[in-house]
Amino acid sequence: MQQTVHLKASRRSFWLWFFQRVSSVGLIVVLLFHMIALHYIDPSAEIDLLSTKIRLQNLVFVLADIFLLGFALFHGLNGVRNVVYDYWPKPGTRKIISSILLVVGIAVFIWGALVLAYLVLLG
């Protein structure tokens, strides 16, 4: 019994560690594309709602945005979890904070996807 509990916990921390790396590599591609394309290719371009909607008619930007949303949320919030686990030894508190971070992550992902869908479809 004790054994299976430990196995489950260590399996979970392996996969979280692993996806922290996967999202890091994903973010290098997607986040650099996002910042360079929107800010530094033409820094004098004015960004407004209309130009944003036009840009999002291009599937590449939509895919980049949805992956950026997912990778950044997972990576950032799992990073916060890692920081909390470094400073907080109490299992009860850890569990509560992990659950809050999970719920926040899912809720913000859905919210971001809705805003993106609005910008793409009702443009």
Partner 1 sequence: MEKHRGFPYYTKRVLRASLETGTFAHLLHRITGLLIVVYLFLHMGVISLAFINGQTFDDVMVTFSSPFFLVMDLVLFAGVMIHGLNGIRIMLFDMGLFTRKQKELFWGLMVVAIVSVLIATWLVATAKGWW
- Can you give the binding site for ligand HEM, defined by CB under 6 A? 20, 24, 27-28, 31, 72, 75-76, 79-80, 82-83
Instruction: List the single partner that 58 binds among partner 1, ligand HEM, none, CB under 5 to 8 Å by kind.
Output: none
> Minimum distance from CB of 79 to ligand HEM (Å)?
2
Q: Are 29 and 67 in contact, with CB atoms under 8 Å apart?
A: no
The C-alpha atoms of residue 10 and residue 13 are separated, in whole angstroms, by 5
Min. distance of Cβ 61 from ligand HEM in angstroms? 18
Write down the least CB distance from residue 65 to partner 1, Å: 10
54 touching partner 1, by CB under 8 A: no
Under the binding rule (CB under 8 A), the answer on residue 62 touching partner 1 is no
